[in-house]
Amino acid sequence: MAHHVLATPVTEAQVRALRINDTVTLEGTLFGIRDANQIALFDKGRETRFDLRGHAAMHTAPNVRRVEPSVEHPTGYAPMCVGTTTSARMERFTRPLLEKQGVRLIVGKGGLGAGSLAAFAERGGAYLAVIGGTAALETTWVEAIEDVDMDDLHPESLWKFRVRGFGPLLVAMDSHGGSLYAEVETRARANRDSALSRLGVVK
Amino acid sequence: MKVDLRQVEDAARELYVRALKVLPPDIKEGLARVSRTESDSTAKSVLGTMIRNIAVAEQTDNLLCQDTGIPIYSVTIGRGVEVDGVSLKAAIRSGCERATQEHSLRSSVVHPITRKNEQTSCGPGVPPIHIDFSDHPDELVIEMVPKGSGSENNSWLRMAIPAEGVGAIKTFVIDCVLDAGGKTCPPTIVGVGVGGTSDLCVALAKRAATRALGSACADAEGAKLERELTEAVNTLGVGPQGLGGDTTAFAVHVEIAATHITMNPVAVNMQCHSARRASATFTPRGVAYGF
């Protein structure tokens, strides 16, 4: 259970070194992706001017404040509350995110499925779990909004955050077929019958 | 008592922001309790982060969670309260819009077909405003719940039949908790509606999910069912965030209504660990805020 401090972008070798139950702290750039911008990118053929190759992308749509554009806030947006959302809704976008955009790390909550796990193994990717519903804390790890694209989809724009000490995040799915969610689900489903018998339910 | 609608609008704005920033004491106590009893080390660490987040939100005057949810308002009007219903609803909607714009809240509400976001947290039929009545003299209560989508996306209705008995209800709840896994941000409050019509059953589940921890179903059979189900779901091992552990739900809450001789409906609606709610009570003495 190693701890890794990763400055983005990362290499395939760095991602392949991650194993489930390891922890990661991200430094540098973190992109924010979401339902609407991935539908636009992968279903509607829109392009982004961002280069996501080797980067980490978090499932998020943040609360932001409008401010006067400045060196600190070049987009005219300041981060107010940045957290994560349920990743499972965006399951089918994992493969194109890795293959077309070159993303290496996905940050989210609740986990992704078998299709994503296969894509992580083939392409060299991993899923880093951040604790859902703890956005106030995560916001303290976000220094600034460096850039924003596809802002017509606001708040589901494509966000480019500058982060510092973003973590620890738990490696919950790795590039070697390991998934904490699959392990937990298998165990939980195996407990179903005993839970029902405890409730007096006769099969 | 005559209700001042400007105060209602201000309260509707204030309630949304308060609910997003400060968790009710029963939820804080619930987290502290499960954090003491949890035996899994990852789960303990996850629960510790949730507790730390509550403190950071209060210290930094920030929102607990990025998801501003779908705003839901419930109004309970006591005896002798004079208020124009249409204007009351308009004032609440206006307060909700003002909260969003004046506090830079993320508008999480879109048109269901065009997906257009008006950036006001409002749209057709949203916020839902429920109106009910009580026998409390000179009192009007507004309760507000920002319902997050992680938990709301995991909502179910099953029109079971009488031959399936109460076993169908229990099995359905267990299967819903398994299907939800970590998607609902556990530990959750699992709200279960039993009986009624299809729409009433779903509404009961929502009411159950948003009840305070420590409260019990008013019906003795419903209360017994919630005790049994609370114990059973916490043997599954889904754990906080679906990462495994003893703590899958703070509690299972049940609300019941009578149903048809041919029907046995059951609905499940969940509330995430950030079980946010706030209330404002209007009396002749003024407005008091609570949870």
Tokens of A161: 């955050």
Who among B64, B175, B184 is closest to A136 (CB)? B64
Q: Determine which of A127, A137, A202 to mutate to test the interface with B (most B C-beta atoms within 10 Å).
A: A137
Are A83 and B235 a contacting pair at CB < 8 A?
A: no
A37 touching B (Cβ < 8 Å): no
Q: Which residue has the tokens 């190759």?
A: A53
DSSP state of A96: H
Closest Cβ opposite residue B105 in set A63, A188, A202: A63
CA distances from A177 to A20, A61, A118, A127, B227 (A): 9, 29, 7, 11, 39
Answer whether B242's CB lies under 8 Å from A181's CB.
yes
DSSP conformational letter for A118: H
Strand partners of residue B265: B159
The CA distance from B277 to B70, in Å, is 12
Measured between CA atoms, the residue of chain B closest to residue A81 is B66
Would an 8 Å CB–CB cutoff place A148 in contact with chain B?
A: no
Give the distance from residue A200's alpha carbon to the nearest chain B alpha carbon, in angstroms.
8
Pick the residue from chain A with its C-alpha nearest to B107.
Answer: A155
Structure tokens at B200: 């009433």
Chain A residue at shortest CA distance from B246: A188
Q: How confident is the model at residue A202, as a pLDDT? A: 82
- CA separation for the pair A8, A15 (Å, rounded): 11
What's residue A102's pLDDT? 98
Q: Say how far apart CA A58 and CA A26 lie, in whole Å.
A: 11
Conformation bin of residue B283: beta by default, left when phi > 0, alpha when psi is -120 to 50 = beta
**Among candidate residues A152, A154, A87, A199, the one with its CA nearest the CA of residue B235:** A199
Please name the residue that has the structure tokens 């204007």: B87
Under 8 Å between Cβ of B105 and B111: no
The kind and range of the H/E element at B97 are helix B85-102
Q: Are B144 and B13 in contact (CB under 8 A)?
A: no
Point out the residues of chain A with pLDDT beneath 50. Answer: none
Angstroms from A170 CA to nearest CA on chain B? 9
Residue B197 sits at the chain A interface (C-beta within 8 Å): no
Q: Are B96 and B73 in contact (CB under 8 A)?
A: yes
* Residues in chain A closer than 8 A to B108 (CB atoms): 61, 155
Q: Check B236 against A181: CB less than 8 A apart.
A: no
Domain layout of chain A by residue ranges: 3-198
| Cα separation, B168 vs B72, whole angstroms | 30
Residue among A85, A141, A159, A184 with most chain B CBs within 10 A, to mutate? A184
CA dist., res. B14 & res. B48, Å (int): 29
Q: What is the Cα Rg of chain B in Å?
A: 19
Cβ distance B171 to A201 less than 8 Å, yes or no, reads yes
Kindly report the CA angle at B283 between B277 and B285, in degrees rounded to 5? Answer: 115
Is the backbone peptide bond immediately before A155 cis, with ω within 30 degrees of 0?
Answer: yes
Please, what is the angle between helix B5-21 and helix B85-102, to 10°?
40
The two three-digit tokens of residue A108, written as one number: 């989210």
Are the C-beta atoms of A202 and B167 separated by less than 8 Å? yes
- Calculate how close chain A gets to B130, using CA atoms only, in Å: 26
Termini Cα distance of chain B: 23
* B214 burial type by CB count under 10 A (0-12 exposed, 13-18 middle, 19+ buried): exposed
Is the Cα torsion angle A32, A86, B129, B8 positive or negative in sign? Answer: negative
Nearest residue to B216 (alpha-carbon basis) of B186, B197, B189:
B189
| Residue A89 DSSP class | G
Selecting from A21, A64, A109 the residue whose C-beta is nearest the C-beta of B104 gives A64
SS3 A111: coil
Q: Which residue of B has its CA nearest to A87?
A: B183
The full set of domains in chain B, from first to last, is 5-20+64-148+275-290 (3.30.1330), 149-271 (no CATH)
User: Under an 8 A CB cutoff, do B241 and A110 touch?
Assistant: yes
Residue A188's identity, in one-letter code, is A
Q: Tell me whether residues B60 and A66 touch, CB distance under 8 A.
A: no
Give the alpha-carbon dihedral of A63, A66, A67, A73, to 10 degrees.
50
Three-state SS for B280? strand
DSSP A129-168: E--TT-HHHHHTTEEEEEEEE-GGGTTSSEEEEEEEEEEE
Name A106's bridge partners.
A57, A127
Predicted confidence at residue A203, as pLDDT, reads 72
Question: How far is Cα B76 from Cα B89, in angstroms, rounded to an integer?
Answer: 13
Alpha-helical runs (H) found in B181-210:
198-209
Q: Which of B100, B243, B248, B270 to probe the A interface (max A CBs under 10 A)?
A: B243
Give the B window 207-246 contacts with A, CB below 8 Å: 228-229, 231-233, 235-239, 241-244
Q: What is the pLDDT of residues B31-83, one digit of tens each?
A: 999 999 999 999 999 999 999 999 999 999 999 999 999 999 999 999 999 99
Q: Which CATH class is domain A3-198?
A: alpha beta
Which residue of A199, A201, A203 is the best one to mutate when testing the B interface, meaning the one whose CB has the most B CBs within 10 A? A199
> Which one of A89, A172, A184 has the shortest CB-CB distance to B238?
A184
Q: What is the pTM of this model?
A: 0.96
Segments of chain B with pLDDT less than 50: none
Question: Do the Cβ atoms of A136 and B57 come closer than 8 Å?
Answer: yes
Cβ atoms of residues A167 and A159 within 8 Å:
no
- Pairwise CA distance, residues B273 & B255, whole Å: 20
Tokens of B169: 């209800």
- B244: nearest CA partner in chain A: A184
Q: How far is B66 from chain A (nearest CA, A)?
A: 5
